[in-house]
Structure formats: structure tokens, C-alpha cells
Amino acid sequence: MWGFKHGKTLSTCVIRFYSTSNGNPLKVLFFGSDQYSSHLLSALHSLLRTKDIDSLQVVTRSPKSCGRYLSEVREVPIMSVNDSLGLPPVIKCDTRSDLLGLIDNPSVEFNVLIAVSFGKLIPKQLIEKVDGKAFNIHPSLLPRYRGSSPIQYTLLNRDEFTGVTIQSLHPTKFDHGEIIKQTAPLSVQEILKLGTVGKFDEDVPEKVATLMDQLGLKSGELLQQMIRERDFKPKPNPNYEPSLAPKITTEMKQINWKNERKLRLLAKNDALGSLYCYKLSLPKRKKEVMKKRIIFPELFDLNETISMKPGEFKLSEDEKTMIIQCIDGQIGTNVLQFEGFALEPVPTFVNRLNKRCGKMNSNEFL
């Protein structure tokens, strides 16, 4: 589970302060779910303590089943952060009907909507209720990387810069609102040097976690600035080329050694985590050749001068590293996993290949 380190928490009763800022007190309805949105919630909580907003209510999604055979139920990260801050119990909304029910809920007062990584469109009826104060915070320099996976595409494309955008909520399209605030371009490499500040599940790639954390903190600062200045007016569109960052699929994690370039594979590993390919197998007592999945948790760059065809592999001199040929060079790994078996160091994996692959055993991946 992932979370922040906090000091003392406030009481678990309804939290309400009265704003000393100009204008009407801001009653925020916050829609979020993941680690990134949790940073924004913490930033809003700070504004609650300084009386820049009057009230704060979190709306999130129900936990999802995950893991093998969907046997594990994983609570959304923002739940634990909400509880640690002593905020009112979250409201769970999974359908459009649930969201529309917020309008007539007498216990929910709001005049500001903020949605961050919520994963569902906020209905037009809710947006119209807040008189132009409906916002989304997105970890990219919009209109670049509209979609659910901007951080992953930043790494996939080996971008030099990234950033954060606050936009108005669009009632029918994700990430098509007007730009309210946007950071200057931020160096990806400088951000990655900062590391993470929270705890992430093991399946979250390290660089994704770092960008999620650090851009989350930067997003919180930008949101606080917007609210303290009451700067809600749209700005001219920036000169960034529009592009998409659609949902990451399992198929994107597959390696095709005959087509893969080294730097592209390393970028995929950074952005998507464990990658996989296939190997032919025909063990004893089996009549048909099977394709078995081979999983690579981590890959690294190598500068070998050996000559192999794409997909071929050999061991390093110390036999601890597997050297695999791409179309333009070699990459290495020290651990990998054969389908149906545990993660293994390279020597163990290689020693067991003959038994697992039988007559189809070779020093080649598909």
C-alpha cells in the first residue's frame, strides 16, 4: 500500500473553516483515486487549514479486484490519505447516476469541482452548478498527452521535458478544457533525480513512481497558487502539439525481438514495467509445441561486440547476466521468469530450460 508520512491528523468530524480570502467561501468537491491525486488532496487540505477554502469532501471509486484470478481487492490509495488527514468519510461514486446524485444530496455542499485521475467524466449538470469553477489537473503540458497515461508516454517517448496543467472540466471529452494555469517545461531527468516520497506497489515502475510523486507535488503547488489568487480565468492556448496518451495495454508490454530497437525496449521497461516475449516449448509427454511466456522485470543497456541475430541470447563471462540481441545492439538482464514458475536468476533459468522446453530448446526467444 502507498501513503504519505503525516504528523498529527485532524479530528474525523466534518472539517470546516471560514475563508478569510476575498469572494465567497470555497466549498470543494474533490474527485480522485490514485497516488498522483493524493498529492493534490494534501495540498487542498493545507488550504483548509489556512482558511483559503471552507470545506473539502472527497469522492472516489470503489476498490477494484486485481491479481491472479481477480482474487485481491485493492483499495484506492486516496482512501488512506483521506483518513490520515482526518477528513470526512469519502463518498463512492461508480456510475453516472451516482455522480448526479451528488446534486441533490443535502449533506454535500460545494461550489468548486476538482477532478484528478478520477477516470470518469464529470456530468454537465454538476459542472453547471459551480459557475465556472470546475477544474482538472493533468500531469502533462496540455494539449500534449491527452488521456489516462501521460507519465508513461513521457517515458516511452524519452521526452526531455514535462509539466503540469490546470484546465477547466469539459462535459463530454477528457482533457479538452480551457487552460487555466500551466507550469513552464520541467526537465524529466532533473525530476527523476529527486526520487519518490511515497510508497508504491511493487508493480509500479520506479521512474513512473518518481514522476507521479514529483509532478503531484508540483501540481499541488500550482493548485494552491490558483486558489489563493482566485485566478480562474482561461489563458491563451500554449503552442504544444496535441497528442494522445491512451490507456496502457498488456499487448504494449510484448517484445518482438526482430523489430525492437534497444533504446525503445529500455524506454518500455521504464514506462511499463515488466515486459514479456515468448519461447517455444515441447517438454516430454507433450505432443504439441507451445508458446511459453518469458517475463523480464528489468532490462539494462550493454555495449557488447558479439554477433547474434535478434532474439538470440548468451551468458556473460561470469554467467550471471543474459545478453540478448536487439536489432541494433544488446541488452541484459539478471533475472527472468518462465511461465508457470517463479522469478529466477539467469543461471537457474538457463539450467532448467532443457527440461521446460524439451526438443524445442534453443538459445533464442521469439
Q: Where are the domains of the chain?
A: 27-229, 250-357
Amino acid at 71: S
pLDDT tens-digit series, residues 64-123: 766 665 667 778 999 999 999 999 999 999 999 999 999 999 999 999 999 999 999 999
Q: To the nearest whole number, what is the mean pLDDT of the chain?
A: 92
CA angle (244 as vertex; 238, 245 as ends), nearest 5: 115
Q: Is the model's pLDDT at 240 over the cut of 60?
A: yes
Cβ within 8 Å of residue 224, ≥6 positions away: 43, 46, 47, 52
CA dihedral 344→347→349→351, nearest 10 degrees, is -140
pLDDT tens-digit series, residues 138-195: 999 999 999 999 999 999 999 999 999 999 999 999 999 999 999 999 999 999 999 9
As a whole number of angstroms, the distance between CA 205 and CA 101 comes to: 37
- Please state the φ and ψ torsions of residue 220, each to the nearest 5 degrees: -60, -40
Give the CB-side neighbour count of residue 14, counting CA atoms within 13 A. 8
As a whole number of angstroms, the distance between CA 304 and CA 325 comes to: 10
Q: Do domains 27-229 and 250-357 have the same CATH topology?
A: no
H or E element at residue 179: strand 179-182
Residue whose C-alpha cell is 545492439 = 329
Read off the pLDDT of each residue in 210-221 and give the average, rounded to a whole number: 98
Q: Is the model's pLDDT at 24 over the cut of 90?
A: no
Cβ within 8 Å of residue 92, ≥6 positions away: 59, 60, 61, 62, 98
Query: Into which CATH architecture does domain 27-229 fall?
Result: 3-Layer(aba) Sandwich (3.40)
Superfamily of domain 250-357, CATH level 4? Formyl transferase, C-terminal domain (3.10.25.10)
Measured from the Cβ of residue 183, the count of other Cβ atoms closer than 10 Å reads: 17
Read off the pLDDT of each residue in 32-50 and give the average, rounded to a whole number: 97
Find the DSSP H helices in the chain: 35-49, 77-84, 96-100, 124-128, 150-156, 188-192, 206-229, 262-272, 346-351, 353-357
Q: Which bin fits 50, alpha (ψ -120 to 50), beta or left (φ > 0)?
A: alpha
**Rounded to whole angstroms, what are the CA distances from 167 to 215, 259, 304, 332?**
16, 39, 48, 42
Q: Is the model's pLDDT at 9 over the cut of 50?
A: no
**Rounded to whole angstroms, what are the CA distances from 278 to 191, 265, 365?**
35, 15, 6
The maximal CA–CA distance of the chain, rounded, in angstroms, is 79
Give the CB-side neighbour count of residue 244, counting CA atoms within 13 A. 5
